[in-house]
Chains A and B, each alone.
Chain A
Amino acid sequence: MSEVLKQPVVASPDAPIAEGSLRSYFPAALAVGGAVALTLLRIQAGGENFISDGALMMLALAAYLIAAVFYLTNLYAPSTLFQKIGLWAATAGVFFNLASWCVRWVAGYDREYVIHMAQGTPMPWAFRYIPFANLYDLSLAFAFGAGITTLLIAHRPTFRFLGALSLPLAALILILARFIGGELINLPPVLDSYWRPIHVGIAAISYGVALVCFAVAVVYLLKDGVKTEAMAIWSSLFCLAVIGTISRGSVFTSGIYSASTFVGNSRSSLPLRADIPYVGLLLVISGLLLAGVIVAFLVYLSRKDERARRWGHWLLKFSLIGQAAAVVTLVSQVKSITDVLSHIDTRQYERFSVWMLKEEMTQARMPATMIQERVAQFSPQELYQMADQYVQQNGAALRLSLNANPVELAALITCFAATLFCIIFSFRTERLRESLPSLEKIDSLMYKTAGVAFAGLALLLMTGAVWANESWGRYWGWDSKETGAFVAWLTYAGFLHTRISRGWTGRPSAYFAIIAFLLVIFTYLGVSYLLPGLHSYA
């Protein structure tokens, strides 16, 4: 072991495979070829005794995480074996990921077949049930985009380590997909166009490249000597923002975390939230620890105070434990609580009644001003009684599910991952920096991935515009998702132009790349969950 540790560079099996030769693309080709072969097998064998797309996705998730662990270990304790395991696990992950998507397509065919056989209508074309219909499908493809980009870049052994960062991110996206839930849906008819596979396919790939570009930017900052303490401050701020906004902001105000509920078999969650015991408390503790981390590291960065630094790192570790405990408790409670009714706080009744009234009146196409007047006519007692009555009637059918708040859950897990990476990077940071490739090479790769992401987003915007014009008769409507992608694209444009006008390579570029990726994520998730618009389905 000590033998290996003395060697400060990442072991790279350079010699047998020449960089840039066709053989170095073998893992990527194998993953894609294997997925196609498995799909053909699935078509031959039928769906009954075959592995489902959901199971394949879980395998992809596991493979991505295994690959990340081995790549990370390889950064600290360079070993050709670990690097090889990392590469093959990543290959397996991409294979399972793509296979899951392809098998889902076949499953979509089976579903349509049953419907159309029963109706005696002819089978529609294959692109009607291509899995690009909702956020689950997009997430599956997005993770694949990130995975295949990582594999393609891994043809240069010097950049294989990148999977240590990009694959956990891809895994987070798959986790989100898992929480969203993968039921096949009826396609809204206007989406039945050949532009859909083109447009969404480009979206998945360019989002994936943007993700890798983000990973490269983080690695650049690390190599450039940005203190892990500074990174921890930013990541802690992000985590505090997440903890502060989930559950309608109740964690910091009342110390309670509550989860949305489903009624019966309905697929859309109700804003009637059930309190989950202990989770709020654990999150408050984690949040306070993170606030402590921020203070300690700020003191360290401004006064070079070593003691503050040590304190900060301890607080960060405790917060990680707190966050892990919160997530585990949340998942186990959601799975185990059966009498949801007893967890419903009656203080939310008035708000819930107002929501019900507005839903009802909006569905009846009542004008907004009238809705407001009508709602204002109800007294608080009446509103309370209305909700109470609803809960009396439907209380038994209320149920908790991990699928009720996919974004909140995924955000908590992302916080955990961000904190974890801050801790990992703080461990023997100098050794880590030495084992990374030169700044110039990382910068080159960052420029290249940003360029591809920029071109990809441009194609995304264009195909979207052409599709919109073919379906609705307008190119551009400033719909939230369009605008989101446009803003991300402008940010990448800024990235490219500052390199010319100010010679802003390196660190400023890396900041641009990070902001641009955050905007991509906002476009991908925020728009669907926070803002209204045409793309709300995906």
Chain B
Amino acid sequence: MSAIEETKREISVPRPPSANISPTNIERLWIIGTGLTVAAVIALLKAYTELPVPESLNSRALIIWLIITGIVAALGIQRLLDVLSSVRFGVILLVLLASASMVGMLVMQVNVDGFDRYYAELSPAQKIVGRALGFFDIYHAWYFNALLLVLSLNIVLASIDHFPKAWTFISRKKLDASAHWLKGQDQHASLTLSGESRAAVVERIAAAFKSVGLRKPIVTEKGDKLFVFGERGAWNRLAAYAVHVALLTIFLGGFLTGMYGHTGNLRLRPGESGSIISETVFKIDPQTRQFEPTTDEFELPFTVECTDIQQQLIKKEGPITADNTMNWRTWVRFKKEGSPDREALVELNHPIDYGGFRFFQASFEAEGKARHITLRITPEQGGTPQNVTIKRDGSATLADGTRVEFKDFSGNFRLGGAPPPQESDYSNPGATLAVTPPGGATVQAFAFNERMAESAPIAKRPVAGYTFRLVDFEKSPSAHILSVQRDPGATLVYIGFTLLGLTLIYAFFFSHQRVWALVEPRGGAFGVVLGGNTNRNKLAFGDRFKRLVGAIDGQTTEVKQS
């Protein structure tokens, strides 16, 4: 018998004969009656009373409930449990889940960029079928969730079913075996040891067991037969269950996130504050049957003030596109009543946690702005020009007390009209300034680079006694968009991941290996029958078994080995 067959036998739990487990017709009537009553009560409560009935108990939920009632009535609870806890049913669920996922891969999903184009090009028939079967958002379809739920249930029930049998490998070890059984194992050998006492033979076998890593061999005596049993990695029998526990932990964490989590985007311009995160959800409107984006909003229990944004470019002379970016940096200040402000820096791939929410860099608005500018300021009456660097929305005071404020910046400056939005190039950089002479009124001024200044007369005209030239500037987008997430399931998911990684390695890179030696007197010598099996990694076990036989077999007269 192969180890696989043994495994199969070991984990198949005997069932009572199936004659008794089907429900009688009376029982079926009772089950259906109860199911209908519950459905009717909920429907009536919803229709005629003000009692708080959960939103999710809608007509679809009632239909599902009735289907479940029907299945229970047809199969009976015992048989239903049998089906739900069978590994075979689990494999069917795996295949169904894989098929549904494949459909979701091949049919474009509503949340994917470009779905509108895809949907517009489908034929009316494709649209009707796709919508009816929920193929455009299959991962959120009710049947997909039901599949995941039934699969989880199957994992739990199948594990409960099979665990006790696996536990016996640890709790009740098989210490002896017949010669016939041993010779039927994957690995077996017979040898004869002569010229030694029984104790010496057993001692030698036990030492050989230890030398090949079968620690703590157990010697049992039965009549004139002696048994030596050695094993390693018995706990490996439980590895598969640990893997499933890890999977369920991840599912549970994912469920918590799905139920109680929030996600959304927060658009931050330097100097502005915000507390409402919004998320665009794409849906096919059931009435218009058109693809419509809708926006979900959620208010954070605190406000986020943006103090500065910076885009670190790879090439300074290049555009502010994602291609040319090393990192995005957003400085924020979290403000909450009753607690001190907290300052933080959100960078790409370095999220920040605050108040149970997590802030990530998501995207940016590529409107050509500047984080700081350097001006060459020349007095009208002559004198040495001086270079002054001013931060965004900042100001500088010149030696004579004139205040220069940096009001605005445009990468593609156009006088007398707003620049077109989303203009990310810096072909005509220009800064708008507010200049206030000591004791005088504030005047608007512009600063351009040398090339522009030559062609624009307005740039040459002195303002408040000075001319301004734009010498240098640090490119910056107009706003950063942070992705905000509240994820109550995160800890569980991470624990599940760690557990899954470790248990999978334990399950597939280790094995439970067992070897028995039966020693009995044969003529003037001792006959030894060795046999062993493993639940995994038969090739490595075969190597170990060979070494074991070699270690025992010092002066054997006869060796028969498979």
Contact = CB atoms under 8 A, between A and B. Distances in A.
Contact of B109 (A367, A462, A473, A478): A478
Interface string B97-123: 110011011101101111011111100
Interface stretch (A71-79, A131-139, A496-504): A496-504
A493 B105 CA distance: 19
Q: How large is the interface on A (under 10, 10 to 19, 20 to 34, 35 or more residues)?
A: 35 or more
A342 interface: no
Given A458-B501, A494-B91, A501-B87, A475 B493 contact: yes
A458 B494 contact: no
Nearest to B95: A494
Contact of B349 (A186, A193, A369): A193
A490 B97 contact: yes
Nearest to B99: A487
Nearest to B324: A186
Interface residues of B, number: 75
A287 B324 CA distance: 47
Most central of B104, B504, B509, B543 by chain A CB within 10 Å:
B504
A27 to B, nearest CB: 18
Contacts of B7: 500
Interface string A455-499: 100110010011001111111111010011011001101100111
A368 B120 contact: yes
Given A490-B97, A532-B108, A459 B501 contact: yes
A189 interface: yes
Contacts of B509: 452, 455
B505 interface: yes
Interface in B2-20: 2, 4-5, 7-8, 11
Given A444-B539, A473-B351, A532 B504 contact: no
B500 A189 contact: no
Most central of A475, A484, A493 by chain B CB within 10 Å:
A475
Interface stretch (B48-56, B315-323, B442-450, B462-470): B315-323
A458 B7 CA distance: 24
A395 interface: no
B316 A497 contact: no
Contacts of A119: 314-316
A47 interface: no
Given A372-B121, A473-B351, A505-B4, A189 B326 contact: yes
Interface string B18-39: 0000000000000000000000
A192 B348 contact: yes
Given A501-B91, A532-B112, A487 B101 contact: yes
Most central of A188, A369, A455, A503 by chain B CB within 10 Å:
A455
A16 interface: no
Given A188-B322, A473-B360, A500-B8, A369 B120 contact: yes
A260 B63 CA distance: 53
A486 B102 CA distance: 10
A19 B547 CA distance: 11
A369 B2 CA distance: 63
Contacts of A466: 494, 497
B48 to A, nearest CB: 41
Interface in A437-461: 440-441, 444-445, 447-448, 451-452, 454-455, 458-459
Contact of B105 (A358, A371, A480, A505): A480
A533 to B, nearest CB: 7
B507 interface: yes
Contacts of B483: 472-473
A190 interface: yes
A473 B263 contact: yes
Contacts of B360: 471-473
A493 B508 contact: no
A503 B4 contact: yes
B538 interface: yes
Interface string A113-152: 0010001010010000000000000000000000000000
B101 A490 contact: yes
B11 A500 contact: yes
A20 interface: yes
Contacts of B497: 462, 465-466
B112 A472 contact: no
Interface in A320-372: 358, 362, 367-369, 371-372
B94 A494 contact: yes
Contacts of A500: 7-8, 11, 87
A483 B537 contact: no
Contacts of A502: 88, 91
B501 A444 contact: no
Contacts of B539: 156, 441, 444-445, 448
A493 B94 contact: yes
Contacts of B316: 119
Given A455-B508, A532-B113, A484 B263 contact: no
A20 to B, nearest CB: 4
B152 interface: no
Given A367-B116, A475-B493, A188 B88 contact: no
Interface string B482-519: 01110100100110010011001101110000000000
A531 interface: yes
B327 A368 contact: no
B500 A458 contact: yes
A189 B116 contact: no
A188 B325 CA distance: 8
B111 to A, nearest CB: 8
Interface in B296-320: 312, 314-316
A472 B4 contact: no
B358 interface: yes
B97 A454 contact: no
A447 B508 CA distance: 10
A499 B2 CA distance: 12
B105 A531 contact: yes
Contacts of B490: 469
B536 interface: yes
B87 A497 contact: yes
Nearest to B116: A368
B508 to A, nearest CB: 4
A362 B117 contact: yes
Nearest to B3: A444
A441 to B, nearest CB: 7
Contacts of A20: 540, 543
B254 interface: yes
B362 interface: yes
Given A190-B348, A444-B538, A501 B121 contact: no
A188 B323 contact: yes
A192 B325 CA distance: 11
A473 B94 contact: no
Contacts of B487: 469, 473
B536 A451 contact: yes
Interface of B: 2, 4-5, 7-8, 11, 86-88, 90-91, 94-95, 97-98, 101-102, 104-106, 108-109, 111-114, 116-121, 139, 254, 257, 263, 291, 312, 314-316, 322-328, 348-349, 351, 358, 360, 362, 483-485, 487, 490, 493-494, 497, 500-501, 504-505, 507-509, 536-540, 543
Interface of A: 19-20, 115, 119, 121, 124, 156, 186, 188-190, 192-193, 358, 362, 367-369, 371-372, 440-441, 444-445, 447-448, 451-452, 454-455, 458-459, 462, 465-466, 469-478, 480, 483-484, 486-487, 490-491, 493-494, 497-503, 505, 527, 531-533
Given A448-B508, A448-B539, A497-B87, 20 more contacts: A119-B316, A189-B322, A189-B325, A189-B326, A192-B348, A358-B117, A368-B120, A368-B291, A444-B537, A455-B504, A471-B348, A472-B360, A473-B485, A487-B102, A494-B94, A497-B94, A498-B91, A500-B11, A501-B88, A501-B90
In the A-B complex, the 4 residue pairs with the closest CB atoms: A501-B87, A368-B116, A473-B485, A368-B117
5 contacts: A121-B326, A371-B117, A448-B537, A455-B507, A471-B348
